[in-house]
Amino acid sequence: MGKALISRRQFLRSSLIATALAAHGQLPLLAKERTTGSGIDVASGPYATKPIRDYLKRFSPTNEARPQRQNYALRYNIVHWGAVSKRTHALTNSVVGEVVVKRTVAGNQVTYEVRQRMRIGGTDNFIVAEIVCDPDRWNSLRRWNLRSYYTATGGQPEPLSVLSEEGWCKDGSIQVRGDNYRHSYGAHNPVLTQWTVPDFLSRCTSSPLNVCFDLLQDLSLFKPRQSLVYDGSTPVRLAGGETVTLQTYAQTGQGILPIHYLLDSQGRVQLVTSSILSWTLSSVEKRS
């Protein structure tokens, strides 16, 4: 029998080195086989709260009981992912606006009144909408009107910025109209807006939720085939150092980065995180 080309000791040593290099992804041929794990999210905490992990240091969940009645208002801060400080490596989150969604049930319809303010490019940008929905499980869109504008110096609406639209959705046909233009879309699923999804979730949560809907973002931008599924529980470390566990639902689909909705034990959607923008619940108000 011929002499071995390398000794057992050498073989074991080489194998150990190769394994260590591969573990760090430094052997290209082996790295090619590595398809899981993330080198980016190593120290970022749970992905569902990653965009607002700085803000969470200042966040306390709203404990106002969710009204048993069907009429209430949800108030969210709009939180912006800022930048990472090159000096301190600190992530910055800032509040750039607020959105209030009031829900009223009367007769055979559900009405949502929306008022959203966001600070963008040195101006305050407003969207004010009234949305009438079907009284079904989804509260799917029936008709709406929307007015948007930004403010000029002095806080008054800039006349050139005022935009009024109205629209309706019937049998899968969506129409959006301005004074001089119209958009038409064809929906194959229930149609929701981003302002009514949290309410849908708070009414319909059950752990194995797995549904599909079409999104009419801002009541103007049609983004079909949205999937909304239960995504497990997420531990969230709060301002006081305590950790709460929130049930998490993930929305993916055309024209959006993954959105996570985090609900507390009472079914309140406390956090909605996307990428650059997220929402954090600041109050729940009873309405008569």
Partner 1 sequence: MRRPNIVFVHVDQMHHQAISAYGCKHVRTPNIDRIVGRGYSFLESYCAMPQCCPARTSWFTGRMSKEHGVVVNGYPIDPEIPDLGRWLRKYGYEAVHTGKWHVTGRDVADSFQVLHRGSGHGELGDSAVARSAVAYLENRTGDKPFFLSVGFLNPHDCCFPATSHGGPGKYGFAPRIAHQLPPLPENFDYDYKNSGMSQTRNWSLQDWRYYIYSYYRLVEMIDAEVGRVYGALASGRYADNTLFILTSDHGDGLGFHAKVSKGYLEEEAGRVPAILCWPGRIREDVQDRTHLVSGVDIAATVCDYAGVPALPKMTIARSWRPLLQGNETQWRDYVICETSIGPLSASVRDGQFKSIIYEDRTRLFDIRNDPLETKDLAGDAEHAAVKKRHRDHFREYIKQIEVYPGPPDIERRISRQRRAARMPRAAVSYKRGNLYRAYVKWYEKIKAES
Q: Does 32 bind partner 1 (CB under 8 A)?
A: yes
Q: How far is the CB of 183 from partner 1 (least distance, A)?
A: 5
Contact 144, 167 (CB under 8 A): yes
In the bound complex, what is the minimum distance in angstroms from residue 90's beta carbon to partner 1? Answer: 8
Q: Minimal distance in Å, beta carbon 227 to partner 1?
A: 9
The DSSP output letter for 4 is P
Look at the block and give the residue holding tokens 């940008």: 125
Quick one: which of 157, 135, 131 has its CA closest to 145? 131
Contact 54, 93 (CB under 8 A): yes
Half-sphere exposure of 115 (CA within 13 A, CB side): 5
- Per rule CB under 8 A, is residue 241 in the interface with partner 1? no
Compute the distance between CA of residue 243 and CA of residue 237 in angstroms, rounded to an integer. Answer: 4
Check binding of 96 to partner 1 (CB under 8 A).
Answer: yes
Member of 26, 92, 173, 245 binding partner 1 (CB under 8 A): 26
Q: Which residue has the tokens 């009405």?
A: 111
Q: Give the shortest CB-190-to-partner 1 separation in angstroms.
A: 19
Pick the closer one to partner 1 by CB: 252 or 282: 252
CB 151: neighbour CB atoms within 10 A? 15
Give the residue, chosen from 6, 106, 120, 239, that forms a contact with partner 1 under the rule CB under 8 A.
120
Q: CA-CA-CA-CA torsion for 88, 91, 92, 97, nearest 10 degrees?
A: 170
Q: What string marks each residue from 139 to 178 as x (binds partner 1 by CB under 8 A) or -?
A: ---------xxx--------xxxxx--------------x
182: contact with partner 1 by CB under 8 A:
yes
- Pick the closer one to partner 1 by CB: 136 or 158: 158
CB 74 within 8 A of CB 199: yes
| 207 binds partner 1 per the rule CB under 8 A | no
Separation of alpha carbons 76 and 274, rounded Å = 14
Alpha carbon distance 145, 178 (integer Å) = 10
Tokens 């109050």 label which residue? 283
Residue 276 lies near partner 1 (rule: CB under 8 A): yes
36 near partner 1, judged by CB under 8 A: yes
Q: Which of residues 42-61 bind partner 1 (CB under 8 A)?
A: 43-44, 46-48, 50-51, 53
Least distance in Å: CB of 286 to partner 1?
Answer: 31
CB of 119 to partner 1, least distance (A): 9
Q: What's the token pair of residue 238?
A: 């709060």
End-to-end CA distance of the chain: 94
Contacts to partner 1 by CB under 8 A: 25-26, 28-29, 31-32, 34-41, 43-44, 46-48, 50-51, 53, 80-81, 84, 89, 91, 96, 118, 120-123, 125, 148-150, 159-163, 178-183, 217-218, 220-223, 231, 250, 252, 254-258, 260, 274-277
